[in-house]
Chains A and B, each alone.
Chain A
Amino acid sequence: AQSVAQPEDQVNVAEGNPLTVKCTYSVSGNPYLFWYVQYPNRGLQFLLKYITGDNLVKGSYGFEAEFNKSQTSFHLKKPSALVSDSALYFCAVRDISGNTPLVFGKGTRLSVIA
């Protein structure tokens, strides 16, 4: 069975500082990994995904994530946080088949303080 763990419920960072939102995964085969962001009362917005290839994936709004197979991690990063980045972030995984649902982590609330 697939699973995703986001160990932090809340991450606080000062504006302009780098941010990291952690995610580890567990799958039986090769993982397809995703990060989504959710603003209050809104649906999910896709940030980035890892399918294969370079371990460092660049996505929307200046976010990037590094796939680390040995540590089974896919941490989300941004070099310089903005107040507008404050939101709920979800890591998700699915298997190689396209018609399978995503399995989500519990989410991490990011708060960027001016």
Chain B
Amino acid sequence: GAVVSQHPSWVICKSGTSVKIECRSLDFQATTMFWYRQFPKQSLMLMATSNEGSKATYEQGVEKDKFLINHASLTLSTLTVTSAHPEDSSFYICSAPTSGRRTEQYFGPGTRLTVT
């Protein structure tokens, strides 16, 4: 099956700094990628839809100025958590659908962010 990678797999940063998380589709092109957030023992909540060549679409309640998304190519989307705070500590997961109507979505392994 298709492979989606995320980098880094885990990161610890100080409060007030920014962190960039990369999501790559390794063997297919993805015009759309999705960013999810998962708090401990909770479900995945969609944060935003990343669209190649255009602005991301954010879900209600997600601060677009805080969570910057850039989908610069057909294989790479980045999520930057700006001015991170401890409450931003979470597990961030991206997914990318393959093309076609009956597509399959492939998930990255996730990035554990801890803000101290």
Contacts and interface: CB of A to CB of B under 8 A. Distances in A.
Interface of A: 36, 41-44, 46, 49, 51, 90, 94, 96-99, 101-107
B44 A90 contact: yes
B97 A104 contact: no
Contact of B43 (A41, A51, A98, A105): A105
Contacts of A102: 34, 44, 95, 105
Interface stretch (B14-22, B76-84, B106-114): B106-114
A94 B46 CA distance: 12
Interface of B: 1, 6, 31-32, 34, 36, 42-46, 49, 91, 93, 95, 97-110, 112
A104 B44 contact: yes
A98 B49 contact: no
Contacts, number: 55
A43 B100 contact: no
Nearest to B94: A43
A46 B46 CA distance: 18
B49 A90 contact: no
Contacts of A106: 42-43
A101 B49 contact: yes
